[in-house]
Structures are given as structure tokens and as C-alpha cells.
Chains A and B, each alone.
Chain A
Amino acid sequence: DTGVSQDPRHKITKRGQNVTFRCDPISEHNRLYWYRQTLGQGPEFLTYFQNEAQLEKSRLLSDRFSAERPKGSFSTLEIQRTEQGDSAMYLCASSSMGGQRDEQYFGPGTRLTVT
């Protein structure tokens, strides 16, 4: 059973550049979540998909952020015009069924540094 994978693992970019991250969930999981974690904090929810449908977006997800899951498999998270405040670990998680009795498993994360 292959776990959640994310690419790249590290990204350094200059302020104002666009970046895109990819997440591949566990193969049989139809739910995919994006979280962001800054130093000393717990992960914060950004958005989630059930299959290809984006069902919820946090108000943390400004207009510069967009996420897609076009075929209900992998997902991408794009940040446009990056700012230094976007520096964080971006975490992807997946789960199989949603609902209350459902566990989310995280990938290794993409660490973004904006200089």
C-alpha cells in the first residue's frame, strides 16, 4: 500500500513568483485534503476534494491560491504571486470515505520558502 506522496519536497522561490505543488493520494482514497503548517502551529485546513469536486475552501485560501483535482486522482495546489507569509509546510492528506469515522493520512509535505 503506497502512502500519500507529494512533489516537490522542498521549494525555494522569490517573492512574486508562482509555484505549484502536486499530491498523489493513497490509491483507493476518494477524499483529498490540503493543510498548511507554520512553525510551532498545528496544521490549518485549506481545502478538500471528494473525487474531482472541491467541496470546501477555508477563508485562509485567498484568491492567490487555487487547487484542482481534475480526474479525481492527483491534486495540485498553486500559489500565485507568492509572499513571504506563504512560507510554510504544505501538507496533503487523503481518506477513504469521509464522515465522522474516517482517518486522514498525511503525505511528507512540501516545504515552501519564499525569499
Chain B
Amino acid sequence: QKEVEQNSGPLSVPEGAIASLNCTYSDRGSQSFFWYRQYSGKSPELIMFIYSNGDKEDGRFTAQLNKASQYVSLLIRDSQPSDSATYLCAVKQNFGNEKLTFGTGTRLTIIP
């Protein structure tokens, strides 16, 4: 079992719709969860982080965390063509472990 799993996609969503990206993780002791956006040929850009169960909203983005189910998601409302990118889920595992463990990313395409 991979430590952080994401559906690689591609995920195609019409412009203006809600894009839903999912991530599961294996280490139940994981404490911190991050979503990065990565355009082709570019480096990852941090767009959301969440540390507590529940929802966290920032503009058109909502991160959702359910530690009991070991599940974290990212919702993008009113999807725009500029949202087309690969979205990487990253997890910081148990205390004292400073590295981020990434999934392989989900490629999202917004269809105009």
C-alpha cells in the first residue's frame, strides 16, 4: 500500500463546475495535510493546508479532512481553465518526521 494515494486521472471538469480531488493516506498518525498545484514543467505551489478535522475554505478552494477515514480532499468551485494542472496531496506524518510524503498527483483538466 502506498503511503499517500491519489487517482492519477486525468479528471475532466466543465468550466464553472466543482472539481473534487481525493487523497487517502496510510499512516494514522499523520498530522498535517497539504495540497500543491503544479503546472506542467513548473514546481509545486502550495494552495491549501489543513491540520484539523473538518472543512477549511480559502476563496474558491475548500480542503476537507477526515482523520478517522484517513481521507483528505480538495474542492475547487467555479472551475476555471487556469485551474488545469496536476494537484499533489502531501502529508506530514507522525511527530518528529519533518518530510512531506507526496502522492503521485491528479491531473485536472477544465473544459471551456
Contacts and interface: CB of A to CB of B under 8 A. Distances in A.
A48 B98 contact: yes
Size category of the B interface is 20 to 34
Contacts of B104: 40-42
Interface of B: 4, 8, 31-32, 34, 36, 42-46, 49, 51, 88, 90, 92, 95, 98-105
A65 interface: no
A108 B100 CA distance: 17
Given A33-B99, A55-B98, A56-B99, A42 B88 contact: yes
Given A42-B104, A42-B105, A100 B99 contact: no
Contacts of B101: 45
A86 to B, nearest CB: 18
Given A89-B43, A104-B46, A106-B43, A98 B98 contact: yes
Interface of A: 31, 33, 35, 40-45, 48, 55-56, 58, 89, 91, 98, 100-109
Nearest to A107: B43
B98 A91 contact: no
For the complex of A and B, list the 5 residue pairs with the smallest distance between their C-beta atoms, beginning with the closest.
A42-B102, A45-B99, A100-B31, A109-B43, A106-B43
B50 to A, nearest CB: 10
28 contacts: A33-B98, A33-B99, A40-B8, A42-B88, A42-B102, A42-B103, A43-B44, A43-B88, A44-B102, A45-B100, A48-B98, A48-B99, A55-B98, A56-B98, A91-B43, A91-B44, A100-B51, A100-B95, A102-B32, A103-B46, A103-B49, A104-B46, A104-B100, A106-B43, A106-B44, A106-B45, A107-B43, A108-B43
Contacts of A102: 32, 92
Nearest to A33: B99
A107 B46 CA distance: 11
A101 B99 contact: no
Nearest to A6: B43
Contacts of A33: 98-100
Nearest to A58: B99
